[in-house]
Amino acid sequence: MSELWGLTAHEAQAGLRAREFSAVELTESVLARVDAVEDRVNAYITRTDEVAREQAREADARFAAGTATPLTGIPFAVKDLIVTKGVRTTAGSRMLADFVPPYDSHVYEQLTRAGAVMVGKANMDEYAMGSSTEHSAFGPTGNPWDPERVPGGSSGGSAAAVAAGECLAALGSDTGGSIRQPAALCGVVGLDPTYGRVSRYGIIAFGSSLDQVGPIGRDVEDVATILDGIGSHDPRDSTSDPSPRPDVRHYLGRDIAGKRIGVPREYFVEGMEPGVRARIDEALARLESLGCEVDTDLSLPMTEHALAVYYLIAPSEASSNLARYDGVKYGLSERGGSGMWENMEQTREQGFGDEVKRRIMLGVYALSAGYYDQFYLKAQKVRTLITEEFREAFTRYDALVTPTTPEVAFRRGEKLGDPYAMYLNDIYTLPSAVAGLPALSLPCGLSEGLPVGLQVIGDVGAEGAILQIGHAFEQSLGQANRLAPL
C-alpha cells in the first residue's frame, strides 16, 4: 500500500521516526482519503480538519525535539460520545446536535498528551443504543466492504473509518458489544477492556455499570499500543481501577504453545450462519496447530440468560442517565408548550429517536414500583451468577474463544422492524460485558466475501493474555492490515 492512509499505526510510527514522511503529510493523506470515500461511508458526524492539521504540526515538532510517543502523529477517529473541548459532541442525537463541551474527556486528554491527531468525531447509534449505526440522527454509516450493508454498532463509524482508511485507528465504546461487533463486521480489530481499566470521565453515559472505552485498529499491535496510551488511572472516575498497569505490548510476540483455550458450546447455537461456523472451526484448528490446548467440551449454562439480563440492566441505567435531558440546562430545548412539563415532554419527543425511547420505557418499567424486585433486582442477581461462572472457568482456562457475531454484516433496514432480531446480533458479546471481562475481536477470514470475527475473552485484567493469543493467531494468518475493498 503506497498511500500513507493505508498504513497501520505502528507502520506509520516507524515511518515518522525514520523521517520518511511527516505527520502533516500523513494527516493530509488521510484527509484526502476522507474526501474521496466519505460520501459512501458516512463515518463522521463532525470533521475536524483544521484541528487535525494543527495537531499534526505539533506532532512534527515533537519528533524534531525527540519527545514523540508511540501515538504521536497518528490520525484517529473519536466516537462522538467522547467529550472534546470546543468540538461538538452529539452522541448521535438531535438532543445534543449543537452541544460544544467546555472540557475534555480523560481518554481524549490522553490522546492529546501523546500527540495523536483527531480527524473527526465518528458516527454512532444514538446514545450508543444500537447494533447497526442506523439509529443516528446524522444518517446511517455504510460498511466499507459493502456500503449497502451495516457496519455494526454502536461504534460503527469508528470501525468503518478504520476499515476504509479514513483514519489509522479509532476510539469506540462498548456497553454490550459496541466495539467488538462492528470490528467483526468491518474486518478490523477491537478490544473491550476490563471494566474500570479505562476512565469513563467525559463519556456520555448509556449504562454506567457496563460502558467502557476501547481501541479499534487494523491489527492487534495497534490495539495494544492504544490501550497502553489511554488506560491510566483517573481519580475523577470512581470506578477507575487504581491497580498498576504494565504495558500490554510486552505480551505480543510470545509463544502461545500450552495455552488452555475453552470453547463454550452455548455460543454455537441455531441461527449461526454456516460460513461463520466454518471460519470459527478453522480458527480453532489453527490455534491447536500453534500449540494451544483447545477444549470444546466447556459449558457455561448461564450464558443463555445474558441477553435478558443486559436488556433489563442497561435500559434501567439508561432511563436514569437520560433523565438529565430536560431542555433546561443544555441540549435541545423546546419552548412551545404551555408550561415547564409540556416543554420537557416536547423536548424529549423531538430530541430522542425511537430506539432510545424504547429503551427508556423498558428501563422505567423495570425500575417502577412493584416491578423492581421482579426485574431489575433479579437481573442483578443473575449477573452475579454469570460472573461467578466465568470466574470458575478461568481457573481452568487461560482464555475462552467464541464467534464475535452469529452472522456477517446484514443489509441496511433488514432488522430495523424487528428489535429482537437486532438485539440477537450481540448475543455472543453480551455475556463478557455483563461480567466486566476484557474481550478482543479480530478477523478470522471471510464468508460470502464479508469479514468474520473471532472473539477471545479473558479473565479480569488479562488484556495481555488475550492480546498475546490474538497476535499469534493474526501473525500465523499473515494478515496484519485489513483494508476494505471500497
> Could you give the residue numbers annotated as active site?
79, 154, 178
* Cα 127 versus chain centre, distance: 13
Strands 44-47 and 117-122: antiparallel
Q: If we measure between CA atoms, which residue out of 180, 192, 175, 176 comes closest to residue 156? A: 180
Give burial (CB, 10 Å; 0-12/13-18/19+) of 203. Answer: buried
What's the chain look like in SS3? Answer: CCCHHHCCHHHHHHHHHCCCCCHHHHHHHHHHHHHHHHHHHCCEEEECHHHHHHHHHHHHHHHHHCCCCCCCCCEEEEECCECECCECCCCCCHHHCCCCCCCCCHHHHHHHHHCCEEEEEECCCHHHCCCCCCCCCCCCCCECCECCECCCCCCHHHHHHHHHCCCCEEEEEECCCCCHHHHHHHCCEEEECCCCCCCCCCECCCCCCCCEEEEEECCHHHHHHHHHHHCCCCCCCCCCCCCCCCCHHHHCCCCCCCCEEEEEHHHCCCCCCHHHHHHHHHHHHHHHHCCCEEEEEECCHHHHHHHHHHHHHHHHHHHHHHHHCCCCCCCCCCCCCCCHHHHHHHHHHHHCCHHHHHHHHHHHHHHCCCCCHHHHHHHHHHHHHHHHHHHHHCCCCCEEEEECCCCCCCECCCCCCCHHHHHHHHCCCHHHHHHCCCEEEEEEEEECCEEEEEEEECCCCCHHHHHHHHHHHHHHHCCCCCCCCC
Cα 305 to Cα 314, 381, 444: the distances in Å are 14, 11, 27
Cell numbers at 58, concatenated: 505539533
| Rounded distance between C-alpha atoms, residue 32 and residue 44, angstroms | 14
